[in-house]
């Protein structure tokens, strides 16, 4: 795919509004189930055109770094495409971040312009967000309750982007909980779209329902109708599954994108009410490994012939590999024996290699870093979608990057191994391995052994005690609604089937979860709880 392909002017304005002006480009769900709004390609193109004029008059042009704080809806879709058309650089930040993290992100991004709803501007003024960098402010909404900086002459039309031009900045926290700015160039976006097209999830004419904002924004540029659902932005795991199912069915969605935790919430709701997500042809799930129990539930509420893919990747290198439902089912027994979670074959263009585990930086690539097939190490990726270094974080960049003769190699921070067929398996996060005196234990080679036992909702392996001599503890969260006797029976099964290396099995009422990434357990909190339960806190 040519790096120019992710060009909003060529891909959206120059093609689909002329080829299919009356086709639906975007569907926006109303609040609290109050219907939805539909935008055709002609209407969306007009909306983008007006946004381009307004932004240009305010001084936003090619290269202007622009913070965007607008909730999902028609305004956000139009604004992001308008900024791309102007060759400006949108800065997209997770709305679920706290005020302190938001201030840090904006300080690192140093946006020159700030586009937001009135509440976002109020927070910007009161909390000092990007105070030293913002020169232009634009309010989105029916009223602007405080002055906007005087308009400037409209910027001249920007030339088409080169592959090396910066396209946008996205912030990711990964497993560290510390947001990091990921700069993406047009060639990175083109690489992502090429990999996405390889999966077949975004075909012209498809209706796409996505909890991943980048997919929803990219869909209209590829000839698809994007559904912008109403979700709980601060706590996605608490989004209403009934509203999700109703939206998917009402829009006759053919392509569905959701994290495993949200997919599980949706599937449980559908199964409890005997619903089938008719019309869905493709399901992509990403953001965390897909548990086999969730896979089975999801398949039961999908129509016959629907394809489900578990996609592996990160913001820094979106779309590394993909595993089909058939492959996941075929490897389920291996996962249950402690081999890890199957991630599939690397997608074309990606060079995936596994290196020896180290917590320090690796400045330059050497083949001596590689581990043999079947050996657990850290997963690394080189390919067309690997992003630029983190914004203003040289230490984090040094830990995440290896220079391979001028080609950047991204260290995923994930542990895994390659089998002799070149397929990738996941063993767990590097920072979550439990380092015992007898060797390291990996979360995804322990937890799946017992996760499918009756009465078990999920488990979490944590370590208690000094580094290098951790005591491995398996925390167990049972399915909701079980009686005390049923919970005791479930715990007994876990103790019977857990690997011998596990020292303790502890029941827990409900794991502490990341409020933004519903599939991620807050293991440091769980480890401290386990230490208190075992009387080892402070040792």
The DSSP code for 3 is: G
Give the residue from 133, 168, 185 where a domain finishes.
185
Within-domain flag for 53:
yes
By residue range, what is the domain housing residue 476? Answer: 443-533
Residues 6+ apart with CB under 8 A from 386: 188, 316, 317, 408, 409, 410
User: In whole numbers, what is the pLDDT of the chain averaged over residues?
Assistant: 87
Q: Please report which confidence band the pLDDT of residue 499 belongs to, taking 50, 70 and 90 as the band edges.
A: very high
pLDDT score recorded for residue 380: 98
At 80, which CATH number?
A: 3.40.50.980
The four Cα atoms 83, 87, 89, 95 give a dihedral, to 10 degrees, of 20
Can you tell me the distance from the alpha carbon of 121 to that of 444, in angstroms, rounded to the nearest whole number? 43
Domain final position from 168, 185, 202: 185
Query: What are the tokens at 439?
Result: 């060797």
CA distance 446 to 450: 8
Determine the pLDDT at residue 145: 38
Domain membership flag for residue 341: no
Residue 418 lies in a domain: no
pLDDT in tens, 139-176: 987 544 333 444 444 344 445 555 578 888 988 765 55
Q: Mean of the pLDDT values across residues 392-408?
A: 94
Residue 196 inside a domain? The answer is: no
Q: What is the pLDDT of residue 74?
A: 84
* pLDDT band, residue 100 (cuts 50/70/90): confident
Of the chain, the percentage scoring pLDDT greater than 90 comes to: 60
b/e burial code for range 264-303 (CB count within 10 A of at least 16 → b): bbbbebbeeeebbbeebbbbbbbbbbbbbbbbebbbebbe
Query: What pLDDT digit, counting tens, does each position of 225-250 carry?
Result: 989 887 765 565 567 889 899 999 99
Q: Check residue 14 and give its pLDDT.
A: 55
The answer to whether the beta carbons of residues 511 and 520 sit under 8 Å apart is no
Q: CATH number for the domain including 498?
A: 3.30.300.30
What is the structure's pLDDT at 214? 72
Q: Could you tell me the sign of the dihedral formed by the alpha carbons of 112, 117, 118, 122, in that order? A: negative
For residue 230, is it within any domain? no
Q: How confident is the model at residue 216 (pLDDT cuts 50, 70, 90)?
A: confident
Bridge-based pairing of strands 89-92 and 166-172 is parallel
Q: What is the pLDDT of residues 468-496, one digit of tens each?
A: 899 999 999 999 999 999 999 999 999 99
Using 50, 70 and 90 to split pLDDT, how confident is the model at 213? confident
Residues 6+ apart with CB under 8 A from 88: 55, 60, 61, 62, 63, 64, 65, 66, 113
Q: Give domain status of residue 180, yes or no.
A: yes
Residue-wise pLDDT for 297-310, tens only, equals 999 999 999 999 99
Chosen domain end from 185, 219, 254: 185
Residue 321 CB partners (closer than 8 Å, separation 6+): 311, 312, 313, 343, 344, 345, 346, 347, 350, 352, 424
Euclidean distance between CA atoms 299 and 86, whole angstroms: 43
Mean pLDDT confidence for 378-392: 93
Q: What is the mean pLDDT of residues 277-285?
A: 93
Which of 123-132, 161-170, 378-387 comes out lowest in average pLDDT?
161-170
Predicted confidence at residue 518, as pLDDT, reads 59
Residue 497 has pLDDT above 90, yes or no: yes
pLDDT of 429 higher than 50: yes
The sign of the torsion formed by the CA atoms of 340, 343, 345, 351 equals negative
Tally of domains in the chain: 2
The C-alpha atoms of residue 158 and residue 54 are separated, in whole angstroms, by 15
Domain-embedded: residue 457 = yes
277 neighbors 241 (Cβ within 8 angstroms): no
User: Rounded to whole angstroms, how far apart are CA atoms 18 and 25?
Assistant: 12
pLDDT in the model for residue 236: 59
Query: Within a domain: residue 251?
Result: no
- The H or E element spanning position 313 is strand 307-314
């Amino acid at each position: 795919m040519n790096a120019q392909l992710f060009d909003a002017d060529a891909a959206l304005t120059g093609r689909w509004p002329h080829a299919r002006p009356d086709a639906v480009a975007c569907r926006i769900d109303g609040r609290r189930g109050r219907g939805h709004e539909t935008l055709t390609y002609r209407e969306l193109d007009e909306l983008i055109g007006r946004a381009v004029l307004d932004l240009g008059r305010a001084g936003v042009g090619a290269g202007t770094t622009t913070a965007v704080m607008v909730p999902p809806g028609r305004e956000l879709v139009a604004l992001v495409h308008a900024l791309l058309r102007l060759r400006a650089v949108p800065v997209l930040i997770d709305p679920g971040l706290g005020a302190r993290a938001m201030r840090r992100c904006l300080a690192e991004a140093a946006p020159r312009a700030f586009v937001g709803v009135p509440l976002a501007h109020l927070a910007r003024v009161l909390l000092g967000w990007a105070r030293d960098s913002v020169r232009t402010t634009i309010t989105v909404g029916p009223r602007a309750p405080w002055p906007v900086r005087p308009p400037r002459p409209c910027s001249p039309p920007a030339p088409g982007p080169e592959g090396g031009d910066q396209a946008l900045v996205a912030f990711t926290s990964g497993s560290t909980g510390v947001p990091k700015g990921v700069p993406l160039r047009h060639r990175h976006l083109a690489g992502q779209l090429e990999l996405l097209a390889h999966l077949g999830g975004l075909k012209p004419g498809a209706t796409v329902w996505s909890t991943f904002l980048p997919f929803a924004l990219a869909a209209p540029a590829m000839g698809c109708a994007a559904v912008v659902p109403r979700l709980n932005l601060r706590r996605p795991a608490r989004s209403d599954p009934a509203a999700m199912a109703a939206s998917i069915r009402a829009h006759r969605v053919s392509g569905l994108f959701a994290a495993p935790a949200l997919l599980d919430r949706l599937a449980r709701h559908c199964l409890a009410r005997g619903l089938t997500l008719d019309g869905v042809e493709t399901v992509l799930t990403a953001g965390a490994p897909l548990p086999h129990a969730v896979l089975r539930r999801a398949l039961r509420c999908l129509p016959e012939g629907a394809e489900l893919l578990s996609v592996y990747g990160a913001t820094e290198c979106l779309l590394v590999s993909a595993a089909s439902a058939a492959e996941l089912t075929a490897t389920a027994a291996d996962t249950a024996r402690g081999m890890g979670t199957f991630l599939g074959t690397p997608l074309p263009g990606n060079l995936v290699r596994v290196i020896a585990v180290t917590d320090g930086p690796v400045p330059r690539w050497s083949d001596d870093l590689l581990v043999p097939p079947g050996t657990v190490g850290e997963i690394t990726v080189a390919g067309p979608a690997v992003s630029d270094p983190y914004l203003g974080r040289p230490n984090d960049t040094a830990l995440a990057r290896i220079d391979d003769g001028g080609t950047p190699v991204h260290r995923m921070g994930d542990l895994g191994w390659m089998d002799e067929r070149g397929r990738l398996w996941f063993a767990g996060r590097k920072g979550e391995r439990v380092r015992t005196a007898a060797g390291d234990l990996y979360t995804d080679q322990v937890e799946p052994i017992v996760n499918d036992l009756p009465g078990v909702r999920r488990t979490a392996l944590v370590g208690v005690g000094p580094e290098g001599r951790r005591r491995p503890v398996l925390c167990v969260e049972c399915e909701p609604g079980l009686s005390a006797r049923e919970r005791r029976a479930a715990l007994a099964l876990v103790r019977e089937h857990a690997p011998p290396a596990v020292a303790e099995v502890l029941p827990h009422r409900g794991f502490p979860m990341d409020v933004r990434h519903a599939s991620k357990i807050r293991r440091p909190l769980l480890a401290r709880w386990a230490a208190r339960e075992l009387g080892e806190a402070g040792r």
